[in-house]
Amino acid sequence: MERTLTLDITDEAAKDIFDLAAAHGSSVGELIGDLISDLTCGCRHDRSGRSDLAGDWFSRYQSGKFPKSTFINHLIGLETVDDLLEDLDIADRAEQMIKTVGSGDIEDYKIDLKFATENIKSYYDEYVEYCPKGEEPQSYGDAVADLRRYKKTRDAWMGEGGS
Protein backbone atom coordinates (compact mmCIF):
# COMPACT_ATOMS: atom_id res chain seq x y z
CA MET A 1 0.00 0.00 0.00
CA GLU A 2 1.30 3.43 -0.87
CA ARG A 3 1.40 6.16 1.75
CA THR A 4 1.76 9.88 1.27
CA LEU A 5 4.14 11.74 3.58
CA THR A 6 4.45 15.44 4.10
CA LEU A 7 7.98 16.46 5.03
CA ASP A 8 8.74 19.56 7.06
CA ILE A 9 12.05 20.50 5.45
CA THR A 10 13.59 23.61 3.97
CA ASP A 11 13.69 24.22 0.22
CA GLU A 12 17.45 23.69 0.36
CA ALA A 13 17.05 20.33 2.11
CA ALA A 14 14.37 19.32 -0.44
CA LYS A 15 16.73 20.11 -3.31
CA ASP A 16 19.63 18.33 -1.60
CA ILE A 17 17.67 15.12 -0.93
CA PHE A 18 16.32 15.14 -4.49
CA ASP A 19 19.85 15.57 -5.89
CA LEU A 20 21.26 12.90 -3.57
CA ALA A 21 18.64 10.36 -4.65
CA ALA A 22 18.92 11.27 -8.35
CA ALA A 23 22.71 11.03 -8.28
CA HIS A 24 22.32 7.39 -7.30
CA GLY A 25 19.53 6.57 -9.76
CA SER A 26 16.81 6.64 -7.12
CA SER A 27 13.84 8.77 -6.19
CA VAL A 28 13.20 10.55 -2.92
CA GLY A 29 10.31 8.15 -2.31
CA GLU A 30 12.55 5.11 -2.77
CA LEU A 31 15.23 6.62 -0.55
CA ILE A 32 12.78 7.45 2.26
CA GLY A 33 11.09 4.06 1.81
CA ASP A 34 14.42 2.28 2.19
CA LEU A 35 15.27 4.37 5.26
CA ILE A 36 11.95 3.43 6.84
CA SER A 37 12.53 -0.21 5.96
CA ASP A 38 15.98 -0.04 7.58
CA LEU A 39 14.55 1.61 10.70
CA THR A 40 11.85 -1.04 11.04
CA CYS A 41 13.73 -4.03 9.57
CA GLY A 42 10.95 -4.11 7.00
CA CYS A 43 10.55 -6.04 3.76
CA ARG A 44 13.15 -3.95 1.88
CA HIS A 45 15.71 -4.48 4.65
CA ASP A 46 18.81 -6.15 3.21
CA ARG A 47 20.73 -6.99 6.41
CA SER A 48 23.71 -4.94 5.22
CA GLY A 49 24.26 -3.25 8.55
CA ARG A 50 22.26 -0.20 7.48
CA SER A 51 19.54 -1.16 9.95
CA ASP A 52 22.02 -1.05 12.83
CA LEU A 53 23.19 2.38 11.71
CA ALA A 54 19.60 3.58 11.22
CA GLY A 55 18.68 2.25 14.68
CA ASP A 56 21.68 4.00 16.25
CA TRP A 57 20.70 7.25 14.54
CA PHE A 58 17.11 6.94 15.73
CA SER A 59 18.19 6.23 19.32
CA ARG A 60 20.22 9.45 19.33
CA TYR A 61 17.36 11.35 17.66
CA GLN A 62 14.75 9.99 20.06
CA SER A 63 16.71 10.67 23.23
CA GLY A 64 17.31 14.28 22.19
CA LYS A 65 13.85 15.04 20.85
CA PHE A 66 11.59 12.87 23.03
CA PRO A 67 13.38 12.38 26.34
CA LYS A 68 10.19 11.83 28.37
CA SER A 69 8.70 8.38 28.81
CA THR A 70 5.05 8.10 27.75
CA PHE A 71 2.35 5.47 28.12
CA ILE A 72 2.30 4.95 24.33
CA ASN A 73 6.09 4.54 24.28
CA HIS A 74 5.78 1.95 27.06
CA LEU A 75 3.07 -0.02 25.23
CA ILE A 76 4.91 0.01 21.91
CA GLY A 77 8.10 -1.14 23.67
CA LEU A 78 6.18 -4.06 25.18
CA GLU A 79 4.51 -4.76 21.82
CA THR A 80 1.12 -4.62 23.56
CA VAL A 81 -0.33 -1.47 22.02
CA ASP A 82 -2.62 -3.47 19.69
CA ASP A 83 -4.07 -5.39 22.65
CA LEU A 84 -4.83 -2.19 24.50
CA LEU A 85 -6.38 -0.58 21.43
CA GLU A 86 -8.69 -3.59 21.28
CA ASP A 87 -9.49 -3.14 24.99
CA LEU A 88 -10.22 0.52 24.32
CA ASP A 89 -12.66 -0.49 21.55
CA ILE A 90 -14.31 -3.05 23.83
CA ALA A 91 -14.71 -0.48 26.60
CA ASP A 92 -16.13 2.13 24.22
CA ARG A 93 -18.61 -0.35 22.69
CA ALA A 94 -19.66 -1.58 26.14
CA GLU A 95 -20.20 1.97 27.41
CA GLN A 96 -22.26 2.79 24.32
CA MET A 97 -24.39 -0.34 24.71
CA ILE A 98 -24.96 0.34 28.41
CA LYS A 99 -26.24 3.82 27.50
CA THR A 100 -28.32 2.49 24.59
CA VAL A 101 -29.82 -0.53 26.28
CA GLY A 102 -30.46 1.37 29.48
CA SER A 103 -31.66 -0.78 32.34
CA GLY A 104 -32.22 -3.83 30.14
CA ASP A 105 -29.84 -6.76 29.79
CA ILE A 106 -26.54 -4.96 30.38
CA GLU A 107 -24.64 -7.33 32.67
CA ASP A 108 -22.45 -8.73 29.86
CA TYR A 109 -21.58 -5.19 28.79
CA LYS A 110 -20.68 -4.27 32.36
CA ILE A 111 -18.37 -7.30 32.53
CA ASP A 112 -16.73 -6.35 29.21
CA LEU A 113 -16.29 -2.75 30.37
CA LYS A 114 -14.82 -3.82 33.71
CA PHE A 115 -12.39 -6.29 32.12
CA ALA A 116 -11.20 -3.86 29.44
CA THR A 117 -10.74 -0.90 31.78
CA GLU A 118 -8.97 -3.05 34.39
CA ASN A 119 -6.58 -4.32 31.73
CA ILE A 120 -5.80 -0.79 30.52
CA LYS A 121 -5.33 0.32 34.14
CA SER A 122 -2.96 -2.59 34.89
CA TYR A 123 -0.72 -1.61 31.95
CA TYR A 124 -0.88 2.01 33.10
CA ASP A 125 0.16 0.97 36.62
CA GLU A 126 3.09 -0.95 35.12
CA TYR A 127 4.08 2.13 33.11
CA VAL A 128 4.05 4.22 36.31
CA GLU A 129 6.13 1.59 38.11
CA TYR A 130 8.78 1.54 35.38
CA CYS A 131 8.78 5.27 34.69
CA PRO A 132 12.37 6.56 35.07
CA LYS A 133 13.26 7.95 38.48
CA GLY A 134 12.75 11.68 38.73
CA GLU A 135 10.34 11.69 35.80
CA GLU A 136 6.68 12.44 36.42
CA PRO A 137 4.48 9.88 34.60
CA GLN A 138 1.46 10.97 32.61
CA SER A 139 -1.80 11.00 34.53
CA TYR A 140 -4.13 8.09 33.80
CA GLY A 141 -6.57 10.43 32.05
CA ASP A 142 -3.83 11.92 29.84
CA ALA A 143 -2.45 8.45 29.06
CA VAL A 144 -5.86 7.17 27.92
CA ALA A 145 -6.48 10.37 25.93
CA ASP A 146 -3.10 9.85 24.21
CA LEU A 147 -4.04 6.23 23.50
CA ARG A 148 -7.26 7.44 21.85
CA ARG A 149 -5.35 10.02 19.76
CA TYR A 150 -2.79 7.38 18.79
CA LYS A 151 -5.56 5.03 17.65
CA LYS A 152 -7.30 7.71 15.60
CA THR A 153 -4.04 8.82 13.96
CA ARG A 154 -2.85 5.27 13.29
CA ASP A 155 -6.20 4.20 11.86
CA ALA A 156 -6.10 7.17 9.48
CA TRP A 157 -2.46 6.41 8.55
CA MET A 158 -3.26 2.76 7.93
CA GLY A 159 -6.31 3.64 5.84
CA GLU A 160 -8.88 2.34 8.31
CA GLY A 161 -10.74 5.63 8.46
CA GLY A 162 -10.26 6.12 12.17
CA SER A 163 -12.93 6.63 14.72
pLDDT class of 51 with cuts at 50, 70, 90: low
Which pLDDT band holds residue 88 (cuts at 50, 70, 90)? very high
Euclidean distance between CA atoms 56 and 53, whole angstroms: 5
Please say if the pLDDT value at position 161 is more than 60.
Answer: no
Q: What is the pLDDT of residues 53-79, one digit of tens each?
A: 776 776 766 666 665 788 998 898 888
C-alpha 118/C-alpha 131 separation (Å) is: 20
pLDDT at residue 151, as a whole number = 92
pLDDT tier, 160 (very low <50, low <70, confident <90, very high otherwise): low
pTM: 0.67
